[in-house]
A = this chain, B = another copy of it.
């Protein structure tokens, strides 16, 4: 088992990574003493992993809250169902919430923990690669609103994160690859050595080699944890984590979040951000081409999906939150392993990048 610690003062917590951790009572038990336990999960994950978690927490007769599966259920109304269940079971402040599932479950159960009786502790048990390397670190919790994603929520840190790499065995191929997009991101923005490791070991990740997955998850979480430790509430530095995301979000919005998974849109977004960095003369040609190769090796898209044109993509990017006094700020690369947040690039070069990555002009 690998352990790393997210350093946030009195809100610090450990991340445990390894095979078979869901059955390790010794990891959960110390957190559950003298507490009611409520496991929040969804209809897809429950049949696969609820029994294991339930049996580890058996002595505490856990309450089980099983929600529908899907981003469309990440709403305040569904979080209210968690409150209903906790109150019906008369859970008091000495309750520990276990979030068992992907990013949607982690975001909603974490937000419910932040608000229930003004805050009860919770533990993240992420079961998708994306949740393991992204949403389980950083304390962002919340729900969507019809007028925007993640518009309602809280910064709220878990007591611990338990990542059992065995849960990735049941993850659909496409979701595994989408998670790998975020893994590649950490190499690009701040860890050149990890990027080189990925160039060599990507086939092992695609083959779900447990040891390789543990290594990749640990290095991803460590990179994210270091950034978050310096900027818990996203005042500035944390913006580098949005590498590829301004392009990616525009793609997601254009396709109404239907045709591509988040990680797929981010992969295309990273290819575009790298291309823009190259056109600006910041990123060397060979590094830009290594980035594109790695994205392709992961069987991820390196350009926008069919049906989006220049104009639409550019407009949607400019509606992004990161526009500041009229200039669109982007995360770009100086080299593999070094990102900068900047609005200091000629607008026509951005247009060239967009033109080179859409399929209709």
Contact = CB atoms under 8 A, between A and B. Distances in A.
B154 A87 contact: no
A151 interface: yes
Nearest to A321: B92
Contact of A88 (B119, B147, B233, B234): B147
B118 A153 contact: yes
Contact of A154 (B76, B84, B115): B115
Nearest to A76: B80
A233 to B, nearest CB: 7
A49 to B, nearest CB: 28
A119 B114 CA distance: 12
Contact of A116 (B88, B116, B152): B152
A119 B156 CA distance: 11
Q: Which 10 A-B pairs have the closest CB atoms?
A: A87-B147, A118-B153, A115-B152, A118-B155, A83-B152, A87-B145, A118-B154, A76-B80, A117-B151, A87-B148
A140 interface: yes
Contacts of A83: 76, 145, 151-152
A140 B152 contact: no
Nearest to A79: B76
Interface residues of A, number: 28
Interface string A287-298: 000000000000
Interface in A65-95: 76, 80, 83-84, 87-88, 92-93
Contacts of A88: 147
Interface in A271-324: 321
Nearest to A152: B115
Query: Secondary structure at chain A's binding surface: helix, strand, loop or mixed?
Result: mixed
Contacts of A150: 118
A142 interface: yes
28 contacts: A76-B76, A76-B80, A83-B145, A83-B151, A83-B152, A84-B145, A87-B145, A87-B147, A87-B148, A87-B151, A92-B321, A93-B321, A114-B154, A115-B142, A115-B152, A115-B153, A115-B154, A117-B152, A118-B140, A118-B150, A118-B153, A118-B154, A118-B233, A118-B234, A119-B154, A119-B155, A119-B233, A154-B154
Interface in A24-57: none
A142 B154 contact: no
Contacts of A92: 321
A76 B82 CA distance: 13
Interface string A102-118: 00000000000011111
Nearest to A92: B321
